[in-house]
Amino acid sequence: MTQESVGVGPTQPLGEAPAPSPRRERKAALLVAPEGLIARHRGSGVMARTAVPAFRTTYGFISHNFPAIIMIGILASVLGVLAQGGPTLMGNQMRNALVLGAIYALIAIGYTMVYGIIELINFAHGDVFTLSGFYAFLIADHFGINKLAASSGFGLLVALVVIFAVSMLLAGITGVLIERVAYRRLRDAPRLAPLITAIGVSFLIEGFMLAFFGPDNVTTHQASWINGNAFTLGAVAVRWTDLFVLGMALVLMFALGAFVTRTRLGKAMRSTAQDRQAALICGININRTIATTFFIGSALAAAGAIIYSINYGSLKWNLGFHVGIIAFTAAVLGGIGNIVGAGIGGFLIGMIYVFGGSLAGGAWSESLIFAILVLILTFRPVGLFGVDVASRS
């Protein structure tokens, strides 16, 4: 390293000054540059530059219109379901998609935050999700929370507050510990090293859960906390649980958005994500900021796990791998590093999973998700909400 090569400057705009924007408008809660996966890997769009013109045009077209193509695809499948089964089926599937999407969104945010701040695909995140679900299960079963939840409306409220607070705290501590033990020393190592460590941590947590909770689904006794239908739209029954899942996820996501945009720590996180060394030189305690990021990401995974438990009623030791990889796709779809994008990506993946699966047969649900992952990485690695790299190059 020579003395002059400490870092890379920000993009310097060409031409004249931008339109002044004196008011403090609220810009999107970006953790990193929306170039996302691409920003640090120049050479993307190589295909677009070097291929034959016809292909280049096609590539550019698909890349440029990728969000529209995805949206049209989703809309088409929604309409397809409507044509197949009428408004009742569409309504039922929409409810299913939103509930599933809410859970994916909460997990996706954890992936995106960690990637944003240390450029690590934290493969252990899905397992932190499962583990925190088991925390909630143990707490609820051993401290009479289940009885409390069943006792009265007020009891349920207290039970929810306790279970969310304690499990999120424990999950946060778990996340911080994982970062401290497994990732911190490798922060400046070649990227493959922490990635492999992350897979190792994932196996470790899964193995622990397998040994401790056994190979089968474990009934968490939380599905009966919230009962009954809230209302019926036509022939579509919406349960209180559905509303709770969706509402809780949205509240948490908006709270996180506000936290990251407005608070001191949120700014510390964003600055660390965008230029770690410059943040250091601005007096930010990098280690603490990264630990906080892991804390929040893991706490949200815990919230997702409790919501999962309340909706499905059971957990399994290897659930996190399965759910995690779908949530990761949601994070990439929304543009990895983009918190709002991850939230929206979660819901879109929920729609694709449910409506695609409803039309094409459930056997294709997952194939569809991973096909989309491949398409994003090929055509639009920045995700739906990133800048249009191909058209820029």
Partner 1 sequence: MTALLELDSVTKQFGGLLAVSSVSFSIGEREIISMIGPNGAGKTTAFNCVTGLFPLTRGDIRLDGHSLGGLPPHRILRLGIARTFQNIRLFSYMTAVDNVMVGAHWWMKARVWDGALTTPRSRREEHAVEQRALELLDLLGLANYAGNYARELPYGLQRRLEIARALATRPRLLLLDEPAAGLNPQEKNELMALIARLRGEGLTVFLIEHDMRVVMGISDRIVVLDHGEKIAEGSPAEVRENPRVVEAYLGSGASQEMRSA
Partner 2 sequence: MHRTAAFLSLASIAALGAVSACGTSTSGGSSSSGGGGLSGCHGTITVATDLPLTGGDSTDGPFPQLGAQLAVTQANSNHVLGGCTLNYVSKDDSSVAKNGHDPAQGAANITSLAADQSVVGVVGPFNSSVAEAEIPVASQNHLALISPSNTNPCLTTNQAVPASTCGITTSSLYPGPHTYFRVIGTDLTQGEILAYIAAKQLNMTKAYVFDDQEAYGAGLATIFKQHFASDGGTVVGSASLPGSTTDFSTQIANAQSSGAQVIFFGGTSGNGCGLVRRDEGKAGLTLPFLGGDGCQDQKFITDSNSGSNTSEAEGAEATSAPDATKLSSAQAFYSAYSTAYSSKSAPYNDGKNEPYTPFGYDAMNILIQAIKSVLLSNGGQPPSSTMTFRDDVVQALHSTNYSGAVGQTSFDSNGDTTNPFFTLYKVSSGNWTGVNAYQVDSSGNVSVKS
At 233, is the secondary structure helix, strand, or coil? strand
* CA–CA distance, 310 with 304 (Å, rounded to integer): 10
Q: How far is the CB of 262 from partner 1 (least distance, A)?
A: 7
Q: How far is the CB of 363 from partner 1 (least distance, A)?
A: 41
Could you list the residues that contact partner 2 (CB under 8 A)?
A: 84-86, 88-89, 92-93, 96, 99-100, 210, 215-217, 219-220, 223-224, 226-227, 229, 237, 239, 241, 312-314, 316, 318-319, 322-323, 353-354, 357-358, 361-363, 365-366
Give φ, ψ of 237 to 5 degrees: -90, 125
Q: Is 392 in the site for partner 1 (CB under 8 A)?
A: no
Q: Is 3 in the site for partner 1 (CB under 8 A)?
A: yes
How much of the chain is helix, strand and coil, in % rounded to 5?
70, 5, 25
Binding at 142: pick from partner 2, partner 1, none (beta carbon under 5-8 Å per type): none
Kindly indicate which of the ranges 29-37, 72-80, 101-109, 346-354 contains the residues binding partner 1, using the contact rule CB under 8 A: 29-37
Binding at 267: pick from partner 1, partner 2, none (beta carbon under 5-8 Å per type): partner 1
Is-contact 271 283, C-beta < 8 A?
no
* CA–CA distance, 384 with 263 (Å, rounded to integer): 27
Binding at 210: pick from partner 1, partner 2, none (beta carbon under 5-8 Å per type): partner 2
Give the pairing of strands 236-239 and 314-315: unpaired
Half-sphere exposure of residue 193, counting CA atoms within 13 Å on the CB side?
10
Binding at 284: pick from partner 2, partner 1, none (beta carbon under 5-8 Å per type): partner 1
CB-CB neighbours of 76 under 10 Å:
12
* CA–CA distance, 197 with 114 (Å, rounded to integer): 14
- Closer residue to partner 1, CB minimum distance, 191 or 262: 262
Binding site for partner 1 (CB under 8 A): 1-4, 6-13, 16-18, 20-25, 27, 30, 32-34, 255, 258-259, 262-268, 270-271, 274-275, 277-286, 292
